[in-house]
Structure 1
């Protein structure tokens, strides 16, 4: 599909599934090289990261754990600027390497907030792996350890990303038509 309709918005194909898979494979190879001896706790940030995290974890070649947190900072097509924690992390991270698995970093508010919270629990290290990064939108000074693809500051859906709950199931990523 080159164009799709979700609710009141039209979207056009911007990143095909093959490009997404290649970016995840490249990232997994770097993580395998860097963290194979660190016993990391991978933390999937729900809801958007579920597809990315699942596909990435299939390529990790060493034993590790995965856990989940659920955060919310969007309403419609806009970031609210406020991060709400809906489901928190139950695992003890003290002395562990934690890898946050994020679908997209745009303003950086969500990931900055979560990294700060985790660092109060004395982990050995906190790393961030994001499938997508919007450098033009980022307003925080954050360190991203693994970035799949840099993209323009457009609103997108698909591959876990949604517009008011719709579009997460799409294998490709689409950009809103303005």
Structure 2
């Protein structure tokens, strides 16, 4: 795909499919090295993290387990509401386990901060974070991120699992959404 070949609602491509694949492979190696003595439970945050968890899991050369949570604070808007609710909880008991939360993006950090506290209250050995994207200029709470794919500008991005109103998740790249696609 060339930079000219993108969805008409996408203003520009921020990260290409190849850039994402290369960085996910690097993250997989970093995680395998960090957890070689005790593989983590990957906890994907639905729906956005589906792509990164699937690709990352195949790049971690360890026997890993996966589980999923769905939490929401967005609805169909472009800004976090600040109110978090669990839509789907973990199936696994995480007591005494090393947990690696895998996120698609850290924006304000408010939802993730809540999720970290929630999981830590369940008695895991550790809770650490891996995110594909982080927006340093948008962060409102300090979150210790162990593995970060890319720091990006504070733009509204879609693709590779990221959506706006459930659209654009299947784009193979990360693109900046045109304002006309999410404003009236």
Q: Same fold (TM over 0.5)?
A: yes
Q: Which moved more, 1:86-95 or 1:49-58?
A: 86-95
Q: Give matches, 1:10-25, under 5 Å.
A: 10-25=10-25
- In structure 1, what is the Cα distance between the partners aligned to 2:174 and 2:113? 24
Give the C-alpha shift of residue 22 in structure 1. 1.2
Secondary structure of the residue that 1:66 maps to in structure 2? strand
Partner residue, 1:166: 167
Normalising by structure 1, what TM-score?
A: 0.94
Where does the alignment leave 5 or more consecutive residues of structure 1 unmatched?
Answer: none
* Superposed structure 1 runs of 4+ greater than 6 Å apart: none
Q: Alignment partner of 2:81: what SS?
A: strand
Question: Does structure 2 conserve the Cα–Cα contact (< 8 Å) formed by 1:39 and 1:96?
Answer: no
How many pairs does the alignment contain?
175
Is this contact kept in 2: 1:156–1:175, CA < 8 A? yes
TM-score (norm 2): 0.91
Per-residue CA distance 1:64-111 (angstroms, 9 max, x = gap): 100001111213222212222100112111111000010000100111
Task: Tell me the equivalent position of 1:59.
Answer: 59
Counterpart residue number, 1:68:
68
Superposed CA deviations along residues 110-169 of structure 1, whole A, max 9, x for unmatched, are: 111111001111111101000000010000111000000000000000000001000000
Corresponding position: 1:40 with 2:2: no
Q: CA RMSD in A?
A: 1.3
Q: What pairs with 1:145-156 in structure 2 (closer than 5 Å)?
A: 145-156=146-157
